[in-house]
Amino acid sequence: MRRPFIAGNWKMNLVVRDAIRLAEEVCECVGSIPDRDVAICPTFVSISAVAAALNDSPIRVGGQDCSQWNDGAYTGDVSATILRSAGAKYVILGHSERRHVMGESDAVVHAKMGKARAAGLKPILCVGETLDERQAGNTLAVVERQLRKGLEGLTHEDLAETTVAYEPVWAIGTGEVATPEQAQEVHAAIRTWLKELGGPIGEDIRIQYGGSVKPDNVGGLAAMPDIDGALVGGAALTADSFSTIVGFGAG
């Protein structure tokens, strides 16, 4: 039985003071939901302050990215080790905005996965096709390539600490959510590849869906057998909507 995992990606939003306030509100609204994991991912600059604001709450903090290199002369980058030292437990890697806006290749995402694991961070590996790739019938080929390259060389122990987020690029920030059936089709394929790579561990790895998840569509998505939670962008920016998504199906 996989424990649902809901993570909020705050992207490049919220000055530090507002990030602290939202973290406190999320804490209050989410309360204690013992049967799922929850994380929020602020900008690098707010990680320490948000980690302090969450104090002893079960909500964890994650980064939105980390460097592909170790500590050293890489101006502007933040290493996985530094991220961990600031209080992060998770890190989102291979988000489509990094792949498509910042031009990150599969090889770069793969290098970051290795650094994250070496630092003890739990990666959330994002995979997903663009609209053109979907329309050309290449969805599964693209997702399989991104997944295999991202996970290449990871030990079974590393795989057990990894979450995969299927995020169709055409659904991110567009309000156009994948139907539960569209998402499940890809999640089921990801599950098959995870089992090939990790044996029985593949059955336990959580696969989040991401792309315009909102309080009114999360229930249908979460009812699918291979959807184990959500990676939430826009709807994670208010405590109300995020806590409703976190609480789907609870109680």
If one asks whether residue 233 binds ligand PEP (CB under 6 A), the answer comes out as yes
Q: Which residues of 51-85 are buried (b: 16+ CB within 10 A; e: fewer)?
A: bebbeebebbbbbbbbbbeeeeeeeeebbbbbbbe
If one asks whether residue 212 binds ligand PEP (CB under 6 A), the answer comes out as yes
From 17-25, 38-46, 78-86, 207-215, span contacting ligand PEP (CB under 6 A): 207-215
Amino acid at 109: V
Judge contact between 210 and 165, C-beta under 8 A: yes
123 or 202: CB nearest ligand PEP: 123
**Residue 40, beta-bridge partner list:** 8, 61
Least Å from the CB of residue 249 to ligand PEP: 19
Least Å from the CB of residue 121 to ligand PEP: 18
Contact mark string toward ligand PEP, 143..182, x via CB under 6 A: ------------------------x----xx---------
3-state secondary structure labels for all residues of 161-183: CCEEEECCHHHCCCCCCCCHHHH
Q: Which of residues 6-25 bind ligand PEP (CB under 6 A)?
A: 9, 11
Judge contact between 206 and 1, C-beta under 8 A: no
Q: Which residue is nearest to ligand PEP (CB)?
A: 233
If one asks whether residue 207 binds ligand PEP (CB under 6 A), the answer comes out as no
**Residue 156, beta-bridge partner list:** none
Interacting residues with ligand PEP (CB under 6 A): 9, 11, 167, 172-173, 210-213, 231-235
